[in-house]
């Protein structure tokens, strides 16, 4: 029997990190022919992930432009995928998450009547402008997809409530699969700034902040809170790998450059990042991925956003929605630094997002969809 031709389409750093274990899983199974199409929505940050996981692109649309607009990402992806789909003729197209690549990749597949599998399906805030444009990207992708791979039961329930068509599988999040290979106790950092840090003697905080809905005043307030925190607490070191977006870099360097013990560094590769978090005291972030990774490492997280589509770790007590207001962020961060009871309560390792086998479940679900196995794969059970 001919292998099922699965084309994975992705373009940004987080999509690549979370698709890598699945692509490797598909490559390892003779039932599949796995091909990768990069949109290149990101460049350096995407290439770094491809290198770490030793993945090769079969197609690369090279769409990235400096300060690109949402319309440019979407239209360039849509047009670029015309030729790729016509040439490759995949049986299934996989997209991941909620970026503009995700939505445009799914739409391109639909225009060619190719079924779509949505990895990391069913996350919702119910606010179409927050996160922006991600909430709408994932909702529209959900409408297009035939197969929905939901990390948590809550994500699957969201799709059921919306009456979304298609098959819904509870798989766990593939990011936990990725962490099996990246986090190592004996890991040695390559980045000189990280090598020079005294993780045992100092309290290292990991910070990231990059989201479009935080551009402008919210980002200014968040980073001003960080500046005041560093000024008030000589015992901390803040490491902020600054996203390559010019909008982010301008604000970050304007507010935090030359602040003592705040280390503004370029984006680091995913192994460095996971091991940095594993050795940090806590994490402050508006990132989606970090909200899943840090709890798995037992690290408290202050989420620098007004809402989250990842309520599971908030319910478990490891993640706190800190918002974007300066005084509140400062107060919550200081509480974590000064109140051991608050810290301990948040620092318990919970892993609501996966057990490291999400990619296997997704591969098996695809086999089931194409009638290559009789029964549906069993659901992911958190805590097992
Ligand atoms: C995108 C996603 C967001 C995700 C984030 C992960 C959309 C609309 N947004 O946002 O959901 O959280 O990726 O990081 O899909 N740049 C480079 N080199 C790179 C990457 C980016 O120079 O490797 C610069 C370019 O000037 C680019 C800008 O960053 O125009 C913004 O990139 P873009 O993909 O549009 O938005 P992100 O904020 O990265
Ligand atoms: N990450 C990384 N290097 C960095 C910052 C983040 O490898 O300098 C990883 C992080 O561990 C996570 C992913 O990138 O796996 C999150 O990406 P990002 O925050 O850009 O996007 P989001 O998850 O918010 O969509």
Q: pLDDT tens across 260-299, in order?
A: 999 999 999 999 999 999 999 999 999 999 999 999 999 9
Residue 377 domain-assigned (yes or no): no
Mutate which of 9, 10, 41, 42 for ligand 1? The one with the most ligand atoms within 8 Å of its CB, which is: 42
Nearest to 23 by CA among 105, 127, 139, 117: 117
Residue 314 and residue 362 share a domain? no
**Number of structural domains in the chain:** 2
Nearest to 289 by CA among 183, 130, 173, 189: 173
Which segment of 213-217, 266-270, 348-352 scores lowest on mean pLDDT?
348-352
> Is the pTM value of this prediction over 0.85?
yes
Residue 154 and residue 261 share a domain? no
Considering the chain, what is the average pLDDT of its residues? 97
Q: Is 13 in the pocket of ligand 2 (CB under 6 A)?
A: yes
With bands split at pLDDT 50, 70 and 90, how would you rate the model's confidence at 377? Answer: very high
Residue 216 and residue 157 share a domain? no
Residue 199 and residue 151 share a domain? no
Compute the distance from residue 140 Cα to the ligand 1 centre, in Å: 20
Compute the distance from residue 221 Cα to the ligand 1 centre, in Å: 21
> Which pLDDT score, from 0 to 100, does residue 384 have?
58
Residue 267 and residue 129 share a domain? no
Q: Give me the mean pLDDT over the 332-358 stretch.
A: 94
Q: Is 131 in the pocket of ligand 1 (CB under 6 A)?
A: no
**Does residue 372 carry a catalytic annotation?**
no
Residue 179 domain-assigned (yes or no): no
> Which pLDDT score, from 0 to 100, does residue 182 have?
97
Q: Is the Cβ–Cβ distance between 57 and 37 less than 8 Å?
A: yes
**Does residue 134 carry a catalytic annotation?**
yes
Residue 204 and residue 60 share a domain? no
> Which pLDDT score, from 0 to 100, does residue 351 have?
84
Residue 85 and residue 44 share a domain? yes
Residue 140 and residue 10 share a domain? yes
Residue 291 domain-assigned (yes or no): yes
Q: Is 68 in the pocket of ligand 1 (CB under 6 A)?
A: yes
Residue 89 domain-assigned (yes or no): yes
Residue 130 domain-assigned (yes or no): yes
Residue 365 and residue 242 share a domain? no
Residue 22 domain-assigned (yes or no): yes
Residue 265 and residue 124 share a domain? no
What is the domain-level CATH number for residue 21? 3.40.50.2000
pLDDT in tens, 71-121: 999 999 999 999 999 999 999 999 999 999 999 999 999 999 999 999 999
> Which pLDDT score, from 0 to 100, does residue 244 have?
98
Residue 76 domain-assigned (yes or no): yes
pLDDT in tens, 16-31: 999 999 999 999 999 9
Residue 116 and residue 10 share a domain? yes
Residue 325 domain-assigned (yes or no): yes
Residue 157 and residue 203 share a domain? no
With bands split at pLDDT 50, 70 and 90, how would you rate the model's confidence at 348? Answer: confident
Domain span at residue 139 reads 4-173+354-369
Which one of 15, 60, 134, 360 is the catalytic residue? 134
Q: Give me the mean pLDDT over the 338-354 stretch.
A: 92
Is the per-residue pLDDT at 249 higher than 90? Answer: yes
């Amino acid at each position: 029997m001919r292998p099922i031709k699965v084309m994975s389409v992705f373009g940004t750093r987080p999509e690549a990190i979370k698709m890598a274990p699945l692509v490797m899983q598909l490559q390892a199974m003779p039932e599949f022919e796995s091909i990768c199409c990069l949109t290149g929505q990101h460049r350096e940050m995407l290439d770094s992930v491809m290198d770490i996981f030793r993945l090769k692109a079969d197609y690369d649309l090279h769409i990235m432009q400096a300060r690109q607009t949402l319309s440019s990402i979407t239209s360039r992806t849509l047009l670029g995928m015309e030729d790729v789909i016509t040439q490759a003729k995949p049986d299934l197209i996989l997209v991941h998450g909620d970026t503009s690549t995700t939505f445009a990749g799914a739409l391109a597949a639909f225009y060619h009547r190719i079924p779509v599998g949505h990895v990391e399906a069913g996350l919702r805030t119910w606010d179409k402008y927050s996160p922006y444009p991600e909430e709408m990207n994932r909702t529209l992708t959900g409408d297009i997809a035939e197969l929905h791979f939901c990390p948590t039961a809550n994500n699957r329930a969201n799709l059921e409530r919306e009456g979304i068509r298609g098959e819904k599988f509870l798989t766990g999040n593939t990011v936990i699969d990725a962490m099996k290979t990246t986090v190592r106790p004996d890991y040695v950092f390559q980045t000189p700034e990280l090598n020079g840090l005294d993780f045992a003697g100092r309290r290292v905080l990991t910070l990231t902040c990059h989201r479009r809905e935080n551009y402008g005043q919210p980002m200014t307030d968040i980073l001003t809170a960080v500046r005041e925190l560093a000024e008030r607490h000589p015992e901390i070191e803040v490491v902020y790998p600054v996203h390559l977006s010019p909008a982010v870099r301008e604000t970050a360097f304007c507010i935090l450059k030359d602040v003592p013990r705040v280390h503004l560094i370029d984006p680091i590769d995913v192994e460095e990042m996971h091991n940095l978090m594993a050795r940090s005291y806590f994490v402050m972030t508006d990132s989606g991925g970090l909200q899943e990774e840090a709890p798995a490492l037992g690290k408290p997280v202050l989420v620098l956003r007004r809402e989250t589509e990842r309520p599971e770790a908030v319910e478990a007590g490891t993640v706190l929605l800190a918002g974007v207001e300066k005084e509140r962020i400062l107060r919550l961060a200081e509480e974590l630094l000064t109140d051991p009871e608050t810290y301990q309560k948040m620092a318990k390792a919970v892993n609501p997002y996966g057990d490291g086998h999400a990619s296997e479940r997704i591969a098996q679900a695809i086999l089931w969809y194409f009638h290559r196995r009789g029964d549906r794969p069993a659901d992911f059970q958190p805590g097992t």
